[in-house]
Structure 1
Amino acid sequence: MTVISGTFKVGMGERFRTDSMLTLSRGGFVTAPAGHAHFAVAQGATVVQVHALGPFALTYVNPADTPRAATNR
């Protein structure tokens, strides 16, 4: 992922932990290996670009967190 604008925080693992997050600003980038859980949060208005080799899929550690689950409630 590359930060186009704003501030983006990202961490690795299955549990959200603010103490282990890397803070990225414009031009910053990070890679996450396939099959490794990660978490992220944007601070304010933020634009990120996701780069991937296909096929590409998002898998949520907790299926209840998927945005699709929220619209089905």
Structure 2
Amino acid sequence: MTPFPYLAATLAILSGFLLMPVASADESAFVAAKASELQWAPAPSVGPGAMMTVIEGDLKKTEPFTLRLMLPANSTIGVHTHPTTERVTVISGNFYLGIGDKPDPTAAVTYQAGDTVIIPAGMAMFAGTGADEAILQLHGDGPWGITYHDPADDPANH
């Protein structure tokens, strides 16, 4: 092999490495979350009795986050949106989710432990649980928030 093609191939490979994004310090940190050690706190923006625990990230910052949300039995979350894409995995229980501007329980789909839904930013949805509580894991890129279509559905107004 002549030196020029070998050098060109080497430079092409190296330039690919230089163009790759560099992991931030937060992404390089090891995070271990044992379910038995999670510290749960009230999640008043979601509804009465809802609890949450943040596993990684600051929900108010533009950075990746992972949280768990515990919804009590027979809870409902009115029509709302989130400012960023929300990725939800059901850890336990049944979770009911409907898409649309009006709450229609007949249009809600039941998701069980192990199921995942990915909801684009700004998509209107409503949700709830049945006879048992549900634990969900949410992750995405912050800042995370919830905006209710009907102010009467926002637990902060009660």
Task: Tell me which interval the TM-score lies in, with the shorter structure as reference length.
Answer: 0.7 to 0.9
Q: CA deviation at 1:5?
A: 0.3
User: Does residue 54 in structure 1 map to residue 142 in structure 2?
Assistant: yes
Mark the runs of 5 or more structure 1 residues left unpaired by the alignment: none
2:109 counterpart residue number: 22
2:93 counterpart residue number: 6
Q: Give the secondary structure class of the aligned counterpart of 1:68.
A: helix
Output the amino acid matched with 1:27: G
Q: TM-score, normalised by structure 2?
A: 0.43
More contact order relative to length (CA 8 Å, sep ≥ 6): 1
Q: Give the secondary structure class of the aligned counterpart of 1:56.
A: coil
**Deviation >4 Å, runs of 4+:** none
User: Does residue 63 in structure 1 map to residue 146 in structure 2?
Assistant: no
Mark the runs of 5 or more structure 2 residues left unpaired by the alignment: 1-87
Distance 1:63 1:41 in 2: 18
Q: CA deviation at 1:33?
A: 0.7
Q: TM-score, normalised by structure 1?
A: 0.87
Output the amino acid matched with 2:106: D
Q: Give the secondary structure class of the aligned counterpart of 1:11.
A: strand
2:124 counterpart residue number: 37
Matched positions, count: 70
Q: CA deviation at 1:54?
A: 1.0
Q: Give the secondary structure class of the aligned counterpart of 2:157.
A: helix
